[in-house]
Amino acid sequence: MKMHNHILELERAIWNWHYSGEKAALEPIFNVISQGLEEDMQALTPMATIDFQRFAANEEGKCLLPIFTSETELNKEEKVSASWRPLREIFEVIDQWPDCLGVVMNPWDKQLVLTRDALQMVRCRQPKSHLAFVRGSVVDMHVGAIVNAANRSLLGGGGVDGAIHRAAGRELLAACIKLNGCDTGKAKITDAYGITYADHIIHTVGPIYSGREQDADLLSSCYWNSLDLAVENGCVSVAFPCISMGVYGYPLPEATKISLLAVIRWFEAHKDAVMNVYFCCFNDREMEAYMKLLEGENEFS
């Protein structure tokens, strides 16, 4: 059965939420659900009430309605007969069923429970672009596009570039050869090949830090141009590494601020787009630099 795009994005958002740990934001998940509701998102749900009973949340028989984002998630444990139904209809069933406490998404593995109140809130809220911070590798993210901090040759290298090429395989190198390199601050797109949890890889080239004024503009352009390419290619989720903050030596206090401002400004300039952006910090230093920036008073306004 064909998997609807919105439901794939929901599966990705749930996965990223688990990967991001305890304090992870739910906004990316809410964005996908509220947009999906507007666009007839379908989810897999069991046919028979008997199948819900095993998800009983308490002794009074109050239960959670299970929904699955794909056949793969459905079949991870014992077989349940389920069918694709519009999420809107599933939520209406819950409205009329006082003993139902909410939904449990993908109950077999990496589950997410949303209570009736949470569902009500999701239905009322306006989806809007969101930036989340993740302590981890872009290569692990389940997104429309993974951004690569490449060099001007686009033929691979060390750092995250090397990790992406190793994961995506030789087909990626073959595709990159055809791109004829990329100027600093610009971005080019390919398929994700062996990285099956993403649709695309966006290759951007950050500046080698020189301390000159143009460094900031070039770094900012990497984020801006990558997001433009993502939108043009139908992506609604993008994972960035900390561009130029590794081998290219951009000091973290400046580079984190430039990247944050670039994305906030892009959101403001693209109010019609709903983009879930993840900044992936591969080490604690990067994460701490972002957290420091966020704690600072209006430093980035």
Q: Does 201 bind ligand AR6 (CB under 6 A)?
A: no
Q: Does 239 bind ligand AR6 (CB under 6 A)?
A: no
Two tokens, residue 275: 């983009």
Q: Could you tell me which stretch among 5-13, 29-37, 67-75, 240-248 binds ligand AR6 (CB under 6 A)? A: 240-248
Contact 290, 277 (CB under 8 A): no
> How far is the CA of 140 from the CAs of 18, 167, 280, in angstroms?
12, 10, 10
Q: Does 158 bind ligand AR6 (CB under 6 A)?
A: yes
Q: Does 86 bind ligand AR6 (CB under 6 A)?
A: no
Contact 120, 267 (CB under 8 A): no
Q: Does 244 bind ligand AR6 (CB under 6 A)?
A: yes
Q: Which is nearer to ligand AR6, 157 or 181 (CB)?
A: 157
Contact 185, 218 (CB under 8 A): yes
C-alpha to C-alpha distance for 240 and 180, rounded to whole angstroms: 22
Q: How many chain residues are in contact with ligand AR6, going by CB under 6 A?
A: 23
Q: Which of the residues 96 through 155 are near ligand AR6 (CB under 6 A)?
A: 137, 139, 149-151
Q: Which of the residues 50 through 79 are near ligand AR6 (CB under 6 A)?
A: none
Q: Does 242 bind ligand AR6 (CB under 6 A)?
A: yes
Q: Which of the residues 265 through 284 are near ligand AR6 (CB under 6 A)?
A: 282-283
Report the length, in residues, of the chain: 301
Q: Could you tell me which stretch among 226-234, 238-246, 258-266, 290-298 binds ligand AR6 (CB under 6 A)? A: 238-246
Contact residues: ligand AR6, CB under 6 A: 137, 139, 149-151, 157-161, 163, 206, 241-248, 282-283, 286
